[in-house]
Amino acid sequence: GEDVEQSLFLSVREGDSSVINCTYTDSSSTYLYWYKQEPGAGLQLLTYIFSNMDMKQDQRLTVLLNKKDKHLSLRIADTQTGDSAIYFCAEKQGGSEKLVFGKGTKLTVNP
Amino acid sequence: DSGVTQTPKHLITATGQRVTLRCSPRSGDLSVYWYQQSLDQGLQFLIQYYNGEERAKGNILERFSAQQFPDLHSELNLSSLELGDSALYFCASSPSGTSTEQFFGPGTRLTVL
């Protein structure tokens, strides 16, 4: 199957860390992505990781990939109210150029 | 701002009608992708064009068609519209046919009444 699964909601306090989790099904996936969608806006590419990597860090963002369990996570350090948005996990499967998206996790940051 | 532009931003039309959505990719990008975002189906890949040629096809209905022109802009044509076609339609672009990153436009919100 092509399913990419994410929990639908996450609520954190400002200043805390947020961890958004995702599971995917295709072991041939070459790249895994995190996109951010703010209300009324398009999809912003936050970061991506190649499937032979375990971790990637980019400023406040840390991506962890467990290929054995097909589990991807996005950690946002020092979460701010401006981080409130929907976060989509996506995979690019081997031999394909299309992105397969999860349903998105709505992150709410409370002051 | 990703550099990908889409027009119109909003479109309201009636069932049975036909509409055209337009996308201009980032300067220099040769590939254009179309995605549909609906409440029940989430984000679904529709079709990819690379340098004017169809490259990959996803869950695109026969009532829908797309093309990419010599100046690399793309149009998505939706015909015999149904209520269920109401959705946000995104265009994305990338430099080549096999690029790592896809950059998304702001989307066109289609409402079918």
Q: Does B48 contact A97 at a Cβ distance shorter than 8 Å?
A: yes
Mean pLDDT for chain A?
92
Within chain B, residue ranges assigned H as helices are none
Say if the Cβ atoms of A98 and B55 lie within 8 Å. Answer: no
Question: How confident is the model at residue B100, as a pLDDT?
Answer: 84
Give contacts of B100 with chain A, Cβ < 8 Å: 31, 48, 92
Looking at residue B1, what is its pLDDT?
82
CA nearest to A88, candidates A52, A38, A16, A54: A38
pLDDT recorded at residue B99? 80
| pLDDT exceeds 90 at position A39 | no
Confidence check: pLDDT of A94 > 80: no
- Cβ–Cβ gap A42/B48 under 8 Å: no
Q: What is the pLDDT of residue A110?
A: 94
- End-to-end alpha-carbon separation of chain B, Å? 31
pLDDT in tens, A77-91: 999 999 999 999 999
Chain B residues touching residue A97 (CB < 8 angstroms): 31, 33, 48, 55-56, 97-98
When pLDDT is averaged across residues A5-29 and rounded to a whole number, the result is 93
Contacts with B58 from chain A: Cβ below 8 Å: 98
**pLDDT of the residue at B96:** 82
Residue A2 pLDDT: 61
Q: What are phi and psi of B71, to 5 degrees?
A: -80, 5
Report whether pLDDT(A95) > 80.
Answer: no
Chain A residues touching chain B at CB-CB below 8 Å = 31, 35, 41-45, 48, 88, 90, 92, 96-104
Please check the confidence at residue B105 and state whether its pLDDT lies above 90: yes
State the pLDDT confidence band at A35, using cuts at 50, 70 and 90: very high
B48 touches chain A (CB under 8 A): yes
Measure the CA–CA gap between A106 and B76, rounded to whole angstroms: 29
List the single range of A10-14, A35-39, A72-76, B11-15 with lowest mean pLDDT: A35-39
At A58 the three-state DSSP class reads strand
Percentage of chain A surpassing pLDDT 70? 98
Q: Do B98 and A97 touch (CB under 8 A)?
A: yes
- Residue A93: is its pLDDT beyond 90? no
Contact B25, A84 (CB under 8 A): no
pLDDT in tens, B64-104: 999 999 999 999 999 999 999 999 999 999 998 778 889 99
What was the pLDDT predicted at B2?
85
Residue A29 has pLDDT above 90, yes or no: no
